[in-house]
Amino acid sequence: MYKNFKFIFTLLMIMACARAGAYQMAGERIRSPWADEINVNNVWNEYPRPLMQRDQWINLNGLWDYAITTLTAQQPTVWQDKILVPFCIESALSGVGKSLDENHALWYRTTFKLPKKWNKNNLIYLNFGAVDWSAEVWVNGTKVGSHTGGYTAFSIDVTNAVAHKGDNELVVRVLDATDVGYQPCGKQRSKARGIWYTPVSGIWQTVWLEPVPQAHFERIYCHPDIKAGTVTIEALKSQPTATKTEVRLLDAKGKVVARAEAVMSPVLTLPKPVKLWTPDQPNLYDIEVLLKNEKGKVLDRVRSYFAMREFGMARDANGFMRFTLNGKPIFQFGLLDQGWWPDGLYTAPSPEAMRYDIDKTRQWGFNLIRKHVKVEPELWYAHCDRVGIIVWQDMPSGDYDNGQPWDDWGHSYYRGVVVCQRSQESIDNYYKEWGEIISQFGAFGCIASWIPFNEAWGQFNTWSVVNWTKRRDPSRLVNPASGGNLYCCGDILDVHNYPEPKFFFGDPDRVMVMGEYGGIGYPVTDHTWVKSDQNWGYIKFNNTQEVTDTYVSYAQMLIDLARKHGYSGAIYTQTTDCETEVNGIMTYDRRVVKMQEDRIATINRQVINSVSPTAYFNAEKNSVEVWL
């Protein structure tokens, strides 16, 4: 028995090594340090859903078979080579480095075994973090589901298709037209240039399996009430009325310190004093949520957390509308974060690499990230929750290369310019994908505002979209169109100017922000995407001193804008270089910081402190009160 086990173990190790040995990164471009640490048998191995964690799961990331075929071709019988999931096919880390166009399909294939210890009475769910753009899925030859939308997770019940003994075959077919048609694609372009980057096609986030009880939680939302010191747990369940939800508040040692129970949405009263979440003190509460039947038997159990915080706005003594956090003013100051990598494109090489960008942003003294026309894995938002980073979340743009004058925009209110005439199919898809993003990520405490449009890219029916977004999530502010076209709706007036921040005009009823500025370029030798003069920035220097001096001078202008003109937030472009753009604080490969970090951290804190303490007018009391 022992000899047989030893032989099988050795054989499996040899097979694993052989698979790993077949992998090689594609291309010769620059790479981040984490790319050198890739282990194909242990890729993105963290549990992917931090707000609803269960104990049992299988990570399916790793080397899969792939093939590119015509649109009409059937499932391949011969596979072209291996691809490393979850990296898109165009990326170096995928090991492929090939493009996919609208006339071809991308096929994936892998096999998996279910653990013997999994309860055979449970359902088996197959989960995809994100697939760009259209996916069809087969298990053991049976089509089990499909999904469109490149930025959100989806789950498929594959219980009736899987075998509990032996191998199971998983096949995925992907279509991705990128910038041909109406699908949201953000900065992706079939012909990368300037501010447009290499396309991303196929699986680009973790694929995983999970056993789920017949009666189970489908999603958990926590709604804090900081004034009452309570949190309402909205638990979406597969069997809504036949079960009860119990929530248990846990201390740092895992001890239960408070609990509540209800059929639908239990309300948990927190021990005093209530610990509020702020960038300086990002307090989080850990909870365990249980699904029970009428006899009290636990059917499902998940772990989650929440932040006690409230984003809003209020008028100060000078008549300016200001951002507030937990009722106090806050200047929200951060970076335009594209979330691109030279080796993984949309996907960081590892969770550690992904968190590095957030940690550096915090180290530099910022309290905000604008996630620019892209969405990240849930683990990204969870880390922002943990370290105290506020997030402005963009809707990934699309449908604006269709012959319409999408670039006819500016810093003036809407005056009848036709921006984008979308088909009804395009409009329906916009609402579908934007709604899925809000539903999936609206549970994270760090997100302060939603941005439906950027610079008129695909902008349509702005009033309707803003109102729809507000109804979908009344707890957050809405920035109608970052940079314009500007309408008198929503909560925020957002203008862009490069390179320096600048005042154009104000709005007494909305919070005013400089949604983009900066773009100070500095190409660092041996750390650029291209070697030629194709590298660009809005202005360019050749040393750290000049770049830092210019950055500091712009920050001082922001302080003036905040105090004299009522600006309450700003976004500097940008965290890292991106392909031919060399205007990042870091190089694209994350190996060089191009500014003097201590100086920018110091001036950034001065910018954030420029509006506090201050005063505001309390209309209910008809008096001026001071924020402390």
Answer yes or no: is 219 within a domain. no
Number of domains comprising the chain? 3
Q: What is the pLDDT of residues 264-310, one digit of tens each?
A: 899 999 999 999 999 999 999 999 999 999 899 999 999 999 999 99
Q: Are residues 112 and 186 in the same domain?
A: yes
pLDDT at 26 over 50: yes
More confident residue, 416 or 10: 416
**Confidence label for 22 from pLDDT (cuts 50, 70 and 90):** confident
**Confidence label for 471 from pLDDT (cuts 50, 70 and 90):** very high
| Whether 574 contacts 336, CB under 8 Å | yes
Question: Token digits for 433?
Answer: 């994908």
DSSP letters, 267-293, are EEEPPSSP--B-SSSB--EEEEEEEE-
Q: Are residues 152 and 262 in the same domain?
A: no
Q: Are residues 320 and 300 in the same domain?
A: no
Answer yes or no: is 18 within a domain. yes
Q: Are residues 165 and 271 in the same domain?
A: no
Answer yes or no: is 237 within a domain. yes
User: Which H/E stretch holds residue 298?
Assistant: strand 298-306
Q: Are residues 565 and 458 in the same domain?
A: yes
pLDDT at 428 over 90: yes
Distance CA 37, CA 23 (A): 13
Answer yes or no: is 300 within a domain. yes
Exposed (0-12), middle (13-18) or buried (19+): which is 89, by Cβ within 10 Å?
A: buried
**Predicted pLDDT of residue 505:** 87
CATH value at residue 249 = 2.60.40.10
Q: Would residue 285 be called left, alpha or beta, if left means φ above 0 and alpha means ψ between -120 and 50 degrees? A: beta
Domain finish residue from 306, 331, 352:
306
Domain finish residue from 177, 212, 247:
212
**Confidence label for 532 from pLDDT (cuts 50, 70 and 90):** confident
Q: What is the pLDDT of residues 34-81, one digit of tens each?
A: 999 999 999 999 999 999 999 999 999 999 999 999 999 999 999 999
Q: Are residues 203 and 252 in the same domain?
A: no
Q: Which residues of 380-412 are buried (b: 16+ CB within 10 A; e: fewer)?
A: bbbbbbbbbbbbbbbbbbbbbbbebebeebbbe
Q: Are residues 326 and 302 in the same domain?
A: no
Q: Are residues 366 and 250 in the same domain?
A: no
Domain finish residue from 212, 241, 272:
212
Residue ranges making up the domain that contains 250: 227-306
Answer yes or no: is 221 within a domain. no
Q: Are residues 101 and 149 in the same domain?
A: yes
**Predicted pLDDT of residue 612:** 64
Distance CA 112, CA 338 (A): 34
**Predicted pLDDT of residue 468:** 98
Q: What is the pLDDT of residues 345-364, one digit of tens each?
A: 999 999 999 999 999 999 99
Answer yes or no: is 220 within a domain. no
**Predicted pLDDT of residue 619:** 43
Answer yes or no: is 222 within a domain. no
Q: Are residues 270 and 379 in the same domain?
A: no
Q: Can you say how many angstroms the Cα of residue 129 is from the centroid of all Cα atoms in its chain?
A: 11
Q: Are strands 230-237 and 244-250 parallel, antiparallel or unpaired?
A: unpaired
DSSP H helices, 566-620, are: 597-608
Answer yes or no: is 54 within a domain. yes
Q: What is the pLDDT of residues 579-609, one digit of tens each?
A: 999 999 999 999 999 999 999 999 999 999 9
Q: Are residues 351 and 500 in the same domain?
A: yes
pLDDT at 2 over 90: no
User: Which H/E stretch holds residue 322?
Assistant: strand 321-325
| Whether 498 contacts 520, CB under 8 Å | no
Question: Token digits for 46?
Answer: 């963290």
DSSP conformational letter for 248: E
CATH value at residue 165 = 2.60.120.260
Neighbouring C-beta atoms of residue 625, cutoff 10 Å: 12
Q: Are residues 294 and 315 in the same domain?
A: no
Sheet holding 328-329, edge to edge: 311-315, 321-325, 328-329
Exposed (0-12), middle (13-18) or buried (19+): which is 551, by Cβ within 10 Å?
A: buried
CATH value at residue 515 = 3.20.20.80
**Confidence label for 617 from pLDDT (cuts 50, 70 and 90):** very low
